[in-house]
Amino acid sequence: MKRASVQSEIIANVGTIRWLYGLFLAIDANFHLKRKVVSNDNVDPSLSHGWGYFVEEEGYKSFLHSSTDIIQEVSYHNAVNMADMKTNRCPA
Render pLDDT for 9-40 as a digit per residue (tens, 0 to 9).
Answer: 777 777 777 777 777 766 666 555 555 666 67
pLDDT of residue 57: 78
Rounded-to-integer distance, Cα 88 and Cα 92, Å: 9
Average pLDDT over residues 51-69: 80
Q: pLDDT tens for residues 39-52?
A: 677 776 766 666 66
Cβ-in-10-Å burial (0-12, 13-18, 19+) of 54 comes to: middle
Whether residue 75 is predicted with pLDDT greater than 70 in this model: the reply is no
Selected residue with higher pLDDT from 25 and 2: 25
Q: What is the CA radius of gyration of the chain?
A: 27
Is 81 a residue whose pLDDT tops 70?
A: no
pLDDT > 90 fraction of the chain, expressed in percent and rounded: 0
